[in-house]
Amino acid sequence: MKPEDFEKKMEGLSTPKSDAVPPKELRLAIVSAQRSAVMGIWFIVMPWFLLMCVIMKYIFHINLGIIDTLKQMMRALDKSPQTWWIGPMMLMGLPIVSIIMNTLAISHFQWESYTGSLIVSIRMRWLNLSVLVVSTGIVGIFFLYLITENCR
Amino acid sequence: MTLDQERELLLRIQSDRKEFGILFDHYYKPIFGYLYRRTGTYDLAKDMAAETFLKAFLRIDSFVWKDIAISSWLYRIATNEANQFFRKRKYKAAALESMVDFDLATQVDSEEEKHSLDAELKQHDDFILIQQKLSLLNIRDQEVIALRYFENKDNREISAILGKPEGTIKSLLSRGLEKLRQRVLS
Report the alpha-carbon distance of residue A55 to residue A67 in Å, rounded: 10
Who's near A32: CB < 8 A, 6+ residues apart?
Answer: A105
Q: A73 Cβ partners below 8 Å, 6+ apart?
A: none
> What's the pLDDT at B15?
85
Residues 7-46 of A with CB under 8 A from B: 7, 9-11, 13-23, 26-29
Number of Cβ within a 10 Å radius of residue B25: 11
**pLDDT on residue A99:** 95
pLDDT at A124 > cutoff 60: yes
Number of independent structural domains in chain B = 1
| Tens digit of each residue's pLDDT, chain B (186 residues) | 788 888 888 888 888 888 888 889 899 999 999 999 998 888 788 888 988 998 899 888 888 877 778 889 999 999 999 998 888 764 343 434 333 333 333 334 567 777 777 777 777 788 888 988 998 898 999 999 999 999 999 999 999 999 999 999 999 999 999 999 999 888
For residue A9, which residues of chain B lie inside 8 Å, CB to CB?
Answer: 126
Which of B57, B109, B170 is the best residue to mutate to test the A interface, defined by the most A CB atoms within 10 Å of its own CB?
B109
> Best of A10, A27, A31, A127 to disrupt the B interface by mutation (most B CBs within 10 Å)?
A10
Report the residue of chain B nearest A18, measured CA to CA. B33
pLDDT at residue A25, rounded to an integer: 65
Is B120:A17 a contact under the CB 8 Å cutoff? yes
In tens, the pLDDT along A64-83 reads 778 888 888 888 888 888 88
Domain containing residue B86: 3-185
Output A58 or B148, whichever has higher pLDDT.
B148
Helix axes B125-134, B96-104, angle to 10 degrees: 110
CA distance to partner chain B, nearest, from residue A130 (Å):
13
**How far A114 CA lies from chain B's nearest CA (Å)?**
19
Of B75, B59, B71, nearest to B13 (Cα)?
B59
Nearest residue on chain A to B25, alpha-carbon basis:
A22
Average pLDDT for chain B: 82
Amino acid sitting at position A148:
T
Region A117-140: mean pLDDT is: 88
In chain B, what is the greatest distance between 2 CA atoms, to the nearest angstrom? 54
A residues 97..116 contacting B (CB < 8 A): none
User: Above pLDDT 90, what percent of chain A?
Assistant: 22
Instruction: With cut-offs at 50, 70 and 90, classify the pLDDT of residue A28.
Output: low
Quick check: B130 and A10 CB within 8 A?
yes
Run of H or E residues at B7: helix B3-15
Answer yes or no: do B130 and A7 touch at CB < 8 A.
Answer: no
Residue bearing the bigger pLDDT, B80 or A87: B80
Reported as type and span, the H/E element at residue A137 is: helix A126-150
**Confidence category of residue A27, pLDDT binned at 50, 70, 90:** low
Tell me which of A4, A15, A24, A128 to substitute to probe the interface with B (most B C-beta atoms closer than 10 Å): A15
Q: Under a CB-based contact definition with an 8 Å cutoff, are residues B121 and A16 in contact? A: yes
Select from A123, A104, A133, A135 the least CA-distant residue to A36.
A104
What number is the ipTM of this complex? 0.70
Span of A58-62, A86-90, A114-118 with lowest mean pLDDT: A114-118
CB contact under 8 A, A3 and B178: yes
**Closest residue of A to B148, CA-based?**
A11
A138: distance to nearest CA of chain B, Å? 26
Confidence band (pLDDT; 50, 70, 90) for A32?
confident
Strands (E), chain B: none
State chain A's maximal CA–CA distance in angstroms. 82
